[in-house]
Structure 1
Amino acid sequence: MPGPTPPDWTHHKPALWADYQVAEQDIVHRLLAQGAPTGAQRARIQDTAHALVASVRESGEAGGLIAPFLQEYGLSNREGVILMCLAEAMLRVPDPLTVDALIEDKVTTAEWEQHLGGSPSGLVNLSTRSLMFTSRVLDLGEGGGLLRAAHDMVRRMGQPLIRTAVREAMKILGHQFVLGRTIGEALEVAAKRSQYRYSFDMLGEAALTQADADRYFKAYSAAINAVGRAGSVDADVIGNNGVSVKLSALHPRLEFAQRDRVLAELTPRLIDLARLAAGHNIGLTVDAEEADRLDLTMDILGRVCAAPDLKGWHGFGFVVQAYQKRAWRLIDLLTDMARGADRRLMLRMVKGAYWDSEIKRCQEQGLADYPVFTRKVNSDVSYIAATGKALSRPDAFYVQVATHNAHSAAAALVLADGKDFEFQRLHGMGEVLHDRLMADHGRPCRIYAPVGAHEDLLPYLVRRLLENGANSSFVNQIEDDAIPVEKIVRDPFAVVEGHTAAANPRIPLPRDLYGNVRVNARGIDLADAQAVDHLYGAMALPAVAGRAAAPILGGRTTEASGGEAVFDPADHARQVG
């Protein structure tokens, strides 16, 4: 059975489908018209954001290792890209010879000297000296004879040490973003920082087999029990720590084509986890994933919300990705879902972490448009608009504003107008900003805390490094005194209003991917319910009488003789020509 019957939200589907791959300008114009703060609010947001950045810079608090490291080695310089490539590859290369070749290929081609003394962090400068030394040891240089032989000996003796050091450095870098290797270890670390709330996430990507799904289900169950035992049943569910889960980890076929199977198999599992969390009075949040899974995810969430034995528990939550064009309308659907089930949903507002894969998927499949914005500033506008709408409905949502951006945080403070909500940040990012938000504005903060061993770390690490390494990253800019505060806290609505084109002109539509060479082949999005319905309708049409294939010579069809009947491969009783 697919689970309890959810509140009816089918009237929202046409609007959501229409916005799935709609033209970017249509959504942006709607957000500017319907979701923009008033002029007075925008002025207050600017003042609040400016004060936040100034407070961060004046506090003198250290932002950890990552911020100064990525200020020096970001994606805007060659050496930063080299280190990102090492981080992406090192943890999944199994044999030492390949690791040695990888390190030599990357480290010896960089100009580390230009970064020497460039960072205010002594640890970063020491790292630069280590990279310079490593490059010199591995670079054989020119010449021969005894000098070459001696250099070769030093190189061979140094390779195992360098390999071990670089691998350990990658682990250290990765664990800047991971709270603990096990849930027990993570809870111990969290207990030392009791001023924060936590949402624990068991690291790992999508399940590929049922065995993977079973393993993740056990890990989530164990995490819920551990977090529940460490919390208080009598406390408000909002004040307790919680657990985040991914639906793709709980089922190996989380896709539209398997909708009936997924509803029948995954819904009961998610309800079991929700019951477990409700029994401990802690929160359970379902992470958002790729855009093509949103429709199916809503079907599952609706059934969990409707489960009668979860009535009275207000710890169930979902994540809204503002970079999706459907975010504005999704708030309306979730509002009806919450009110229809007589519950208050925890709603985590994020900007989104799968942008590059969303763009590539649409280009590969030759789809009509993208489900996400192609300009980052459009995502910022969507984030503020959708967050403001959610904050205006406190009966339906407890809003969790997940951001490391001072302007977005300031917008939430102004638009909340005294209503309760919390800020969220990723472990290892945005520490100083969120410390100031708690100290200066008295708002609670929850840390999204990944838990897992380094073997599970790679995909998460790469996403965080790419997110932080970009020179436009707010985390990369806020502690850099060389960047004016006005540039950091620019009003995204003003920026968007100044654009002549809403979409990014450097990212062509999927059909125009090859420019003037040719039109990209058009595909069918099998995750789009409307496209699938249209396809089924075309397949169900009766065969055209007299349809026959014939040779074409010189551009003209010639008469065929002795042709053979052709049958539908899915229905051998149906002749199609």
Structure 2
Amino acid sequence: MADTEKVKSVADINAETQRIGQRVWDQMERRTPSIFDRRWWDDRILSWAMSDESVKVQMFRFVDVLPMLKTHEQITQHLQEYFDDVRRFLPWAARIGLDISRPNTVMGRIVAVNARSNARNMAQRFIAGSNVDEVLQSVSKLRKQGFAFTLDLLGEAVISEPEAEAYQEQYLDLINGLGPHVNAWSENMQIDTDQYGPIPRMQFSVKLSSLYSQFKSVDPQGTAEGVKERLRPILRAAREQDAYIHVDMESYATKDLTLEIFKDVFMEDEFRDFPDVGIVIQAYLPEAEQDLQGLLEWVRERGTPIWVRLVKGAYWDYETVHAKAAGWPVPVYRQKWQSDENFERQTRFLFEHYDELRPQIASHNLRSLSHAIAVAKHLDVPNSAWEIQMLYGMGGEMAQIFEEMGYRVRVYTPFGELIPGMAYLVRRLLENTSNDSFLRQSFREHVSIEDLLMSPTEVGQKTPPPAEEPVPAFVNEPHSDFSDKTVRAAMQEALDDVEAQLGREYSLVINGRAIDSNKTITSRNPSKKSQIVGRVASASPDHATEAISAARRGFKSWSRTDPEHRAEYLELVAREMRERKYELAAWEVYECGKPWAEADADVAEAIDFCMYYAMQMREMAKPRNVDVPGEENEYFYRPRGVAVVIAPWNFPLAILTGMTAAALVTGNTVVMKPAEQSPVIAAKLMQIFQDIGLPDGVVHYLPGIGEEVGPELVGSPEVDLIAFTGSRTVGLGIYEQAAQTDPRQENIKHVIAELGGKNAIIIDSDADLDEAVTGVIQSAFGYSGQKCSACSRAIVLDDVYDAFLERLVTATESLKVGPANDPGTSVGPVIDQEAFNRIRETIDSEKETEDEDQELALAGDDGPGKKEGYYIGPHIFSNVNPSSTLAQDEIFGPVLAVIKAKDMDEAFDIANGTEFALTGGMFSRSPKNLLRARQEFQVGNLYLNRNCTGALVDRQPFGGYKMSGLGSKAGGPDYLLQFLIPVNITENTLRRGFAPPSEDDEPATTDTE
């Protein structure tokens, strides 16, 4: 089409859009609900909620938590907690109700009953029913109004295989239960046929992530197999009952995999000719156009058309916040007019190819729907060849008008239990009350019809671009996005390359020279213990002495190196790590059994430490001056001297790099003693230090057996500082030995020690169990529980104990135990034979406990088994005594103790009732209890409504107290102070009554002037 014709076409379509929109608007103005209509009162409530943003937030938070509130007292308490701060914005009746209602009072009971009743009534507006009979009644009513339907199952998030099976069964039951009734309806040509003939009356929308609890973009093959196994029976039932199946689209992270699975299953011989299927495309994604183009090419190869539901997208806030927090590009358009413009572009694309990609235009925006009708007319697309889709309970008047105009209108109809469906209700309410919502603008704020029907391009011309967001001084290294196939391919390539390098030999490095020894440490792959990762020279006490002496000699010049130059060295290390990110992660997979995401995160944290400490040192290098007339005072820092860094194996690169980088940038020289289980990764770090040109004598690589070299490293009089991360027993031994003063030493040794934890997560009675179960599983069994921050105690309030435990066990049982190099693995091996034996002995001992109440709720499958690697499946013990060994001692493995608490007072007593104070967590939707956690939970890092692992540099400086450490915080603003000595210099500048002027002084004058 020539440019002039294209412009005319756009102008003609826009003019037609305006005419259609005005016509629909005029009819809608005459159809507003009356005061006797329930929806009129619902709309008044929504209008009130929209009047103030803070009220809206609290209202929706209350609706979200309501399903978990079992008693009138709980409801009244939450109403008080949620609305107390915003009471001045409430209607007078609501304020009076809050003022006079209290838990355990008659008024409190009345308020609670009304709150639950109103929420239930509101939910019934948006949710069609909870069983076949109720759903049949609702869809029959829709049909009488002239609407078609598509059903979507609501409920809890699917976090276990039994829940995924139940999701599948509900669809099978509904298909088979509704089929005979729906197919017996008398024909309605407008909604039951298209240009070719009959179309299915029964339509169902399915979320693929709900068909397989281990749906992971990092594991496309395993995920696809799990999804297809449950999707195929649904498709067979649909064909038997003449039903249509639509695949819903969810978060951006699952988009590509969802499209891939959709294409794969419908290219199978059994389903290749099935035309009654479709998928969603989200227009708020700039990628929508390429996704549609890809679907078009695939359909042509398939030979059978599909339907495409075009939507704006329901996860804008989530996608924006999640991407920013992860440091990834925001995948959605930043402004609404851009999404609207893309929606119109893709609408035209669908209509241009309507015989292959059959359009379903899903929106409540009058402009968007009017534009679709105008495009269809312009391209001569028959009315029966496409349809309008709208949400159940929303925009009813508009839907009725389009039906009367002769268009097929299909209502997206959620069904399921009303209480679990509350999350869906909240999303619908948010859509109804968002600032950019068409319904809000048209019915609540009296925006003119001219503005509402303005083209997105015109809106964009009048809309200022989004404000530039301030760039923080420090930005965390983004974790790799394994939903991106190019990232997965890069990681797999690195794994293949590293596997070819396994078994090599590595020397000590002292003063820049490679040194061999007569002993070696053999590093084995925990996932496959027959596989040798490398053979590393093992240092002797003499080697330790040599390394310390070399570090002492190197200290003089290094300590005098400009801090700016020292910071630049760290940035060079970070740059090198970025370039080798997948390679370094692959070494961690093989040497330490870290699954893909865990290994990747460890490398990112190592980069963060380098960049953050470089930034911090630049600031700390600026002297603090406090001058007065005749006196100058300068406060600055000097390095301590020789630092010994003793690192653990569980974060083999991050912690070793972090402690070493902190020592180096502050001007200390370092002897690195890595864990015996991870010497090869440490050798790679040493190689990086050499590659960037760090001077000889500044860092020394000294792998060895702790019992052999440890006494010399800790006891040497030439060592000034010891940075240690590891077990409490070893750490306290280091602290004790360092305190013994050798007459030859010049400094009192300084010890930095992080010693582990016995971390707890409290589950409140109002907690979101979807999030709580997932958070505890991630915290307890991520990296097989081998993190000092891991959750080893779940303290659950009595009210939700049974429900939580049941879901926890079934969800944990669904985790895949396997080798770390398998991207589908959730729980890999433990680190070595010693750890395997120790954890097994603990489990066996607890099985034989004399405590009659304690039970082994889950003995997880060991996956490949101990013959291949050091595999121990997740274990959950229930009804654990808070004072028992299981609840008090650090196990450092995939073992979780679940403890019951009668109330929140007891929960905090249990949580604080150990020798440790490292990390803790709490899942609660009570502002009062969350505040109590902030004040009473004795931990160095407290996590509210999220997992208690995964601290990031600068965001969550990490470290604990009591027997968890000395209180220093790695990755925090005061960590480098541990490696420095503060010095103050004062100079008297007064000489015989004369002092040099300061920079702020005015020039002196004399009488002669």
**TM-score band, normalised by shorter chain:** 0.7 to 0.9
Equivalent residue for 1:345? 306
Distance 1:533 1:184, change over 3 A: same
Which structure has the higher relative contact order (CA within 8 Å, separation 6+)?
A: 1
Between 1:228-237 and 1:41-50, the stretch displaced more is 228-237
Amino acid at match of 2:19: D
Q: Does 1:279 align with 2:244?
A: no
Say which SS state the counterpart of residue 164 (structure 1) adopts: helix
Q: How far off is 1:521 after superposition?
A: 3.0
| Match for residue 393 of structure 2 among 397, 412, 428 | 428
Deviations 1:431-476 (A, max 9, x none): 111111122x211111111111123212201111111112321122
AA in 2 matched with 1:375: Q
Which structure is higher in helix share?
Answer: 1
Q: Distance in 1 between matches of 2:248 and 2:433?
A: 24
Could you give the per-residue CA deviations for residues 16-51 of structure 1, whole angstroms, max 9, x where no partner exists? Answer: xxxxxxxxxxxxxxxxxx999712212221232232
Structure 2 distance, partners of 1:35, 1:343, is 34
Instruction: Tell me what 1:487 maps to.
Output: 451
Measured against aligned partners, the alpha-carbon deviations of 1:286-318 in whole angstroms (never above 9, x if no partner) come to 110111111211221112221323354321111
Q: Following superposition of structure 1 onto structure 2, how do residues 51-62 of structure 1 map, counting pairs within 5 Å?
A: 51-61=23-33
Equivalent position to 1:392, from 352, 355, 370: 352
| Aligned amino acid, residue 431 of structure 1 | G
Following the alignment from structure 1 to structure 2, what is the Cα–Cα distance between the partners of residues 258 and 394? 34
Measure, in 2, the Cα distance between the counterparts of 1:221 and 1:365. Answer: 38
- Superposed CA deviations along residues 62-119 of structure 1, whole A, max 9, x for unmatched, are 5824434322321644433332232122222345443222112334554578757xxx
Look up the SS of the partner of 1:90 in the other structure: helix
Aligned 8 A contact 2:363 2:390 in 1: yes
Equivalent pair of 1:79/1:112 in contact (CA under 8 Å): no
Does structure 2 retain, via aligned residues, the 8 Å contact 1:35–1:386?
Answer: no
Query: Which letter maps to 1:45?
Result: T
Deviation track 1:399-436 (CA, whole Å, cap 9, x = no partner) reads 11111110000111011124221111111101111111
| Separation of aligned partners in 2, 1:388 and 1:365 | 34
Query: SS of the counterpart of 1:424?
Result: strand
Q: Secondary structure at the match of 1:274?
A: helix
Task: Call closer, same or farther: CA 1:58–1:356 in 2, change over 3 Å.
Answer: same
SS of aligned partner of 1:487: helix
Residue 288 (structure 1) aligned to one of 242, 249, 260: 249
Cα distance per residue 1:196-248 (max 9 Å; x no partner): 10101111244101001000010011111123222338965535131111111
Cα separation, 2, equivalents of 1:378 and 1:109 = 36
1:413 aligns with 2:373: yes
Matched-pair contact (CA < 8 Å) for 1:179–1:451: yes
| 2:161 aligns with one of 190, 201, 210 | 210
Q: Are 1:180 and 2:129 matched, yes or no?
A: yes
After superposition, the Cα gap between the structure-2 partners of 1:68 and 1:339, relative to the gap in structure 1 and judged at 3 Å, is farther
Aligned counterparts of 2:349 and 2:287: Cα–Cα separation in 1: 14
Q: Which residue matches 2:275?
A: 314
Tell me how far apart the structure 2 counterparts of residues 289 and 487 of structure 1 sit (CA, whole Å): 31
Structure 1 residues 112 and 260: alpha-carbon distance in aligned structure 2, compared to 1, 3 A threshold? same
CA distance in 2, matches of 1:370, 1:545: 44
1:43 paired to 2:24: no
User: Alpha carbon RMSD of aligned pairs, Å?
Assistant: 3.1
Aligned equivalent of 2:64, options 63, 77, 88: 88
- Checking the alignment, whether the CA contact within 8 Å between 1:46 and 1:491 is kept in structure 2 is no
Equivalent AA in structure 1 for residue 390 of structure 2: R
- Contact kept? 2:202, 2:242, Cα under 8 Å: no
Q: Are the equivalent residues in 2 in contact too, given 1:67–1:476 (CA < 8 A)?
A: no
Residues 260 and 471 of structure 1: CA distance in aligned 2, closer, same or farther (over 3 Å): closer
Distance 1:347 1:548 in 2: 62
Asked whether the equivalents of residues 205 and 247 of structure 2 are also in contact (C-alpha less than 8 Å), the reply is yes
For structure 2, the 5+ residue unaligned runs are 1-5, 513-550, 560-565, 567-693, 706-819, 823-830, 832-1009
Q: Structure 2 CA distance, aligned partners of 1:251 and 1:315? A: 23
Structure 1 Cα separation of the partners of residues 338 and 95 of structure 2: 41
- Distance, in Å, in 2 between the alignment partners of 1:384 and 1:239 is 27
State how 1:126-141 maps to structure 2 within 5 Å.
129=93, 131-138=94-101
1:468 and 1:475 in contact (8 A); partners too: yes
What residue in structure 2 maps to residue 445 of structure 1? 409
Contact kept in structure 2, 1:321 and 1:350, CA below 8 Å = yes
Letter in 1 for 2:695: T
SS of the residue 1:399 aligns to: strand
The residue identity in structure 1 corresponding to 2:166 is R
SS at match of 1:319: strand
Find the aligned partners of 2:325 and 2:142 in 1 and give their Cα distance. Answer: 45
1:302 is the counterpart of 2:278: no
Q: 1:361 to 1:75 in 2, by over 3 A?
A: farther
Q: What's the counterpart of residue 12 of structure 1? A: none
- Aligned AA for 1:360? V
Q: TM-score, normalised by structure 2?
A: 0.46
**Partner-residue secondary structure (3-state), 2:331:** coil
378-387 or 354-363: bigger deviation: 354-363
1:262 aligned to 2:219?
no
SS in 2 for 1:309: coil
Task: Indicate the percent of aligned positions where both proteins have the same amino acid.
Answer: 21
Q: 1:517 aligns with which of 470, 473, 489?
A: 473
Tell me the number of residue pairs that the alignment of Structure 1 and Structure 2 aligns. Answer: 500
Following superposition, the deviation at residue 344 of structure 1 comes to 1.9
- CA shift, 1:341, in A, is 1.7
1:527 is matched with which residue? 483
Question: Per the alignment, in what secondary structure is the counterpart of residue 199 of structure 1?
Answer: strand
Structure 1 residue identity aligned to 2:160: T
Distance 1:473 1:37 in 2: 28
CA distance in 2, matches of 1:524, 1:214: 31
| Correspondence list, 1:194-233, <5 A | 194=143, 195-232=146-183
Tell me the secondary structure at the aligned position of residue 30 of structure 2: helix
- In the other structure, the counterpart of 1:505 is 467
SS at match of 2:264: helix
Cα distance between partner residues in 2 of 1:360 and 1:87: 22
Q: Is the 8 A contact 1:271 1:307 kept in 2?
A: no
> Which one is further off, 473-482 or 255-264?
473-482
| 2:16 is the alignment partner of 1:67 | no
Q: Secondary structure at the match of 2:275?
A: coil
Q: Which string of whole-angstrom CA distances, capped at 9 and with x for unpartnered residues, describes residues 107-145 of structure 1? A: 4554578757xxxxxxxxxxxx4x24413423xxxxxxx
Q: State the 1:395 CA deviation.
A: 1.6
Structure 1 residue aligned with 2:990: none
Note if contact 2:278-2:309 (Cα within 8 Å) is conserved in structure 1. Answer: yes
Cα distance in structure 1, aligned partners of 2:126 and 2:506: 65
Match of 1:564 in 2: 703
**C-alpha distance 205-416 of structure 1, shift in aligned 2 (>3 A):** farther
Distance (Å, rounded) in 2 between the aligned partners of 1:80 and 1:344: 43
CA distance in 1, matches of 2:162, 2:397: 41
Higher share in strand = 2
2:148 maps to amino acid: R
User: Which structure: larger Rg?
Assistant: 2
